[in-house]
Amino acid sequence: MKKRINLLVFLLVLGFYIPNAQLIAEINAVPETSILMQDGHEDDVKDSHAEDKQENHGESATDDHAAADDAHHGPPPGWTVIPFVLLLGMIATGPLFYEHFWHKNYPLIAVSLASLVVLYYLFALHDTHAPVHALAEYVQFIALLSSLYIASGGIMINVDKKATPMANVGLLLIGAVISNLIGTTGASMLLIRPFIRLNKGRIKPYHIIFFIFMVSNIGGALTPIGDPPLFLGFLKGVPFMWTLTHNLLPWIAALIILAIMFYFFDRRNKDMDLAPEVEFTNKTTIVGSKNFLWLAVIIAAVFIDPNVIEGVPAIIYDGQKFSFIREIIMLSVGYLSFKFASKKAIEGNEFNFEPIREVAFIFVGIFGTMMPALALVSEFAQSETGVALINPNSLYWGTGFLSGFLDNAPTYLNFLAAALASQGGDISVVADVQAYAAGGEYPDSVINLTAIAVGAVFFGAMTYIGNGPNFMVKSIAEQTGIHMPSFFGYILRYSVPILLPIFLVIWLLFFVL
């Protein structure tokens, strides 16, 4: 009963972020003639131009129109990134130097810092657009993560075989493939507990780190379902199979290198030699398999987008359509999947809501405070200086490093917008995005887009906050008693010595012209 009450309260808190009926009515009352364009034309000219684009090209409403908003309001001052930097610093140092204070107060800290930035935008910059976009993106983000987390929590997978290095490599590679079918979040939540159980008695932090590298991030580079930035690219006009065609070779190369490195890490694990002799059936059993149906509903709901399917109800704001039916479906599925889940699976997984609660609060702070950072990145990326730097090298490393510390979805869109703008294209025009993905009309566009896509997905593994599943996997591992490295420890002990050389190899093999 207590778990059900916790779930209901959690979903009600999330529901608070979905605009109520009065707000929907107010938003719908805003005419589409309020669309802001960068060219400075009169409102009637802007409205006609925007409507033509929507009719002729099916403009996607999920785009983060940071560039348009910044052009109207002006970029925020540089000091406004201080709350974001402060939050990152506390995420990094809190668990290490003031653990009790941090774990007790991180929700208040995250919400307070986000509120400072939002209030500054509303009352100092008089900018409602960026906060509304951040709110919409947060709701989409947390609805997907929470529903996948809850639904997968009702599936208990037991792999009854000896935990050898080859068995672990096999599970990690299978997880990387599955990431493209149910997303990195779905695959991570489905497989992290079986992976920990498989290695019971010999589990080490490096097991979890390589899981984050291979399953929670790099694995999802082949389909738009795999990772949020690729899905946004798909909504913008990048063909569904484009990522499989162009990201496949970097994906294979990165996973092979990581698999070989993990194998040698795992062979040196002396606890394997100390494990007692146990007879194994070499069978895999699944308890709570009905929850796979709930997972399928969540994945299907991802495509219920008012910008893709005509007639889907939406919240109209500033000429854009924001989804809410999809999020309601996901949250409802999360509740129902827990209510009707197998008790044996829930208990076997030691399921609780603390990991998703931690993610929900931490990312409230991140989404709220990173608005100035994203705006300044967008401002530079689309400036004359930024456009002059557009090439596969800068796109790969620029998109990559920023995706490690900012949300990789808007980072992907900002760099794609800059790359298109540098050659006269417009990210809001589906035909331009399709032509850019196809190549020919835009020189070097295919390799540029590949650099953006690979950089956004791969570099999400650089930090705990680079991608949503990272923090959830870390939290689940810590709840099972695994002592995970700190924020800086993760970067200095694993990301820099392991990932950076691999990313350098990927760059040399595929992006150096």
Name the least confident of 185-189, 341-345, 460-464. 185-189
Residue 316 or 34, more confident: 316
Give mean pLDDT, residues 356-372. 89
Residue 449 pLDDT > 80: yes
Name the least confident of 98-107, 147-156, 270-279. 270-279
Are the beta carbons of 212 and 465 closer than 8 angstroms?
Answer: no
Q: List all residues 6 or more positions away from 307 whose beta carbon is below 8 Å from its beta carbon.
A: 58, 59, 60, 61, 62, 235, 314, 321
DSSP state, 275?
A: S
Give the pLDDT confidence score for residue 8 in this predicted structure. Answer: 43
* CA triple 60-64-65, angle to 5 deg: 90
Give the pLDDT confidence score for residue 485 in this predicted structure. Answer: 93
Tokens of 465: 């906050």
Tokens of 102: 């941090």
Residue 213 pLDDT > 90: yes
Give residue 73's pLDDT band: very low, low, confident or very high (50, 70, 90).
low
Residue 411 pLDDT > 70: yes
Give the pLDDT confidence score for residue 276 in this predicted structure. Answer: 57
Give the pLDDT confidence score for residue 513 in this predicted structure. Answer: 67
Give the pLDDT confidence score for residue 274 in this predicted structure. Answer: 52
Give the pLDDT confidence score for residue 281 in this predicted structure. Answer: 75
Give the pLDDT confidence score for residue 363 in this predicted structure. Answer: 87
Tokens of 420: 């298109």
Give residue 22's pLDDT band: very low, low, confident or very high (50, 70, 90).
very low
Distances (CA, A) of 353 to 7, 358, 475: 7, 9, 10
Give mean pLDDT, residues 198-204. 89
Give residue 51's pLDDT band: very low, low, confident or very high (50, 70, 90).
very low
DSSP calls for 470-511 = HHHHHHHHHHTT-----HHHHIIIIIIIIIHHHHHHHHHHHT
Give residue 37's pLDDT band: very low, low, confident or very high (50, 70, 90).
very low
Give the pLDDT confidence score for residue 34 in this predicted structure. Answer: 35
Name the least confident of 308-312, 452-456, 509-513. 308-312
Give residue 15's pLDDT band: very low, low, confident or very high (50, 70, 90).
very low
Q: Looking at the DSSP assignment, which residues form a beta bridge with residue 315?
A: 322
Q: List all residues 6 or more positions away from 87 whose beta carbon is below 8 Å from its beta carbon.
A: 109, 110, 113, 365, 366, 369
Tokens of 229: 């930035």
Q: How many CB atoms lie within 10 A of CB 126?
A: 8
Give the pLDDT confidence score for residue 59 in this predicted structure. Answer: 41
Give residue 277's pLDDT band: very low, low, confident or very high (50, 70, 90).
low
Are the beta carbons of 117 and 369 closer than 8 angstroms?
Answer: yes
Give mean pLDDT, residues 261-277. 77
Give residue 39's pLDDT band: very low, low, confident or very high (50, 70, 90).
very low
Among 26-35, 55-64, 222-231, 266-275, which range has the highest average pLDDT? 222-231
In whole angstroms, give the CA distance from residue 445 to residue 438: 8
Residue 47 pLDDT > 60: no
Give mean pLDDT, residues 361-380. 86
Residue 133 pLDDT > 80: yes
Residue 492 or 200, more confident: 492
Burial of 208: CB neighbours in 10 Å, binned 0-12, 13-18, 19+: buried
Give the pLDDT confidence score for residue 95 in this predicted structure. Answer: 79
Residue 461 or 141, more confident: 461
In whole angstroms, give the CA distance from residue 405 to residue 401: 7
Name the least confident of 6-10, 179-183, 314-318. 6-10
In whole angstroms, give the CA distance from residue 165 to residue 210: 13
Residue 137 or 28, more confident: 137
Per-residue pLDDT of 380-401, as tens digits, reads 777 778 778 889 999 999 999 9
In whole angstroms, give the CA distance from residue 145 to residue 93: 25
Q: What are phi and psi of 315, to 5 degrees?
A: -95, 120
Give the pLDDT confidence score for residue 246 in this predicted structure. Answer: 96
Give mean pLDDT, residues 80-95. 89
Residue 19 pLDDT > 60: no
Q: How many CB atoms lie within 10 A of CB 100?
A: 8
Q: What are phi and psi of 157, to 5 degrees?
A: -105, 125
Give the pLDDT confidence score for residue 320 in this predicted structure. Answer: 78
SS3 state of residue 41:
coil
Name the least confident of 25-29, 70-74, 409-413. 25-29
Distances (CA, A) of 56 to 49, 60, 219, 309: 11, 12, 35, 15
Give mean pLDDT, residues 505-509. 96
Q: List all residues 6 or more positions away from 212 whose beta carbon is below 8 Å from its beta carbon.
A: 188, 461, 469, 470, 473, 474
Give the pLDDT confidence score for residue 31 in this predicted structure. Answer: 40
